[in-house]
Structures are given as C-alpha cells and as structure tokens.
Amino acid sequence: EDGSVTLNLNVAALDAVKRWVMRYGKEAEVLEPRELRMMVMEEVKKMGKVYGMDYLQ
C-alpha cells in the first residue's frame, strides 16, 4: 500500500475545503469535484507567480 487515503465529504463551502486541502501541499490532491480541483489549480498558479514561477500553466 502507498499510504494514501481517499475522503468523500459533503460540504457547503468549497473555498473552505480548498484552504484545508492546500495546507497539505503536494501531499494532497483534489480528484473531484472538478470545480474544487480547478480552484486549487488556480491558487497554485497564483502562488507560482508570487514565487517567480510564471511558467506554471
């Protein structure tokens, strides 16, 4: 086993979940819903710009 865990949650606010997931950095991946996955991706892009990694597309 690789030690991974899959969580299925019912939540009202995706933004709060985005912040929670991002606390785990590269150790966490949002699989779905697609909207939340895209929210995390957009935040990562913004962080890349802050840290001089504009090549993240």
Pick the more confident residue, 34 or 55. Answer: 34
Rounded CA-CA distance 13/1 in Å is 32
Q: What is the pTM (predicted TM-score) of this model?
A: 0.82
pLDDT in tens, 8-27: 999 999 999 999 999 999 99
Q: Would you say the C-alpha torsion 54, 34, 16, 3 has a positive or negative sign?
A: negative
